Amino acid sequence: MQRAVETVAGYVIPPPAAATVPVEDTDEVFPVCRIFCVGRNYAEHAMEMGHDPDREPPFFFTKPAGAVVPDGSTLPFPPATEELHHEIELVVALERGGADISPQDALDHVYGYTIGLDMTRRDLQAQAKKMGRPWDMAKGFDRSAPMSAIRPAAAIGHPERGAIWLRINGETRQEGDLAQQIWKVSETIAYLSTLVELQPGDLIMTGTPAGVGSVQRGDGLEGHIDGVGDLTVTYRA
Ligand code: MN
């Protein structure tokens, strides 16, 4: 029997569209390879989640590249959760890959920076932690990585300090400073590159400051990082 599937030469089914993030003030986009996320990179947030911020090396989890959604999106409230949490984060975009990158060389691998939300189904994460199960469905669900346009390091440098905050419906929920990061961007890249060979197009979400909390249907989220950008996302009522 003949199958009615539109074909693309060389593929048995049409290939998925590439995930991309716009680059600020251009018509060009940054192609996303993978999304790595650092857990607990600000002392106060580590403590609010019940951990000692001093004694733990960085750890990582991932989201699918296709979890990226652009600034200004209106999003459906995700399924399978009653406790959707916001985590505002500095995002690093890599233009060069490599393994065993030294902290001294790490920033040479950076294309630019943007501001992202590591949206989290906290109830599913709590259940996974309790049962010793993976976090994938808590962290890597559809549209779980809203991201603003990338600003090239050539234009803004490598931000190491500056306010990072998140407001919901105009009310401040998270507030911190990039200088409070336990692991600096250069150290995070270096450490991650001992675990995997980094690739051009990889994004690293570098952890969130204190103040994570629930998002309700109908909420408007507004994030900011000094010198890096602003991000606005709304959840449908
Ligand atoms: Mn996070």
Note whether residue 13 is domain-resident: no
Dist. CA 10 → ligand 1 center (Å):
38
What pLDDT was estimated at residue 82?
A: 97
Whether 5 maps to a domain, the answer reads: no
Considering only 5-9, 46-50, 195-199, which range has the smallest mean pLDDT?
5-9
Distance 113 CA to ligand 1 centre (A): 16
Domain total of the chain: 1
Task: Evaluate whether residue 78 is within a structural domain.
Answer: yes
- 12 assigned to some structural domain: no
Q: Domain limits at 109?
A: 20-235
- Tell me, yes or no, whether 171 lies in a domain: yes
Categorize the per-residue pLDDT at 3 as very low, low, confident or very high, splitting at 50, 70 and 90. Answer: low
pLDDT, average across residues 172-184: 96
Confidence of residue 71 (pLDDT cuts 50, 70, 90): very high
Distance 14 CA to ligand 1 centre (A): 33
Instruction: Evaluate if pTM is beyond 0.85.
Output: yes
Question: pLDDT grade, residue 6 (50/70/90)?
Answer: low
Report yes or no on 139 lying in a domain: yes
Q: Average pLDDT, stretch 44-51?
A: 82
Tell me, yes or no, whether 9 lies in a domain: no
Residue 52: both structure tokens together: 């000692």
From the CA of 108, how far away is ligand 1's center (Å)? 24
pLDDT of residue 50: 83
CA of 45 to the centre of ligand 1 (A): 10
Q: Is residue 14 part of a domain?
A: no
CATH code of the domain covering residue 96: 3.90.850.10
Residue 92's pLDDT band (cuts 50, 70, 90): very high
Euclidean distance between CA atoms 117 and 198, whole angstroms:
22
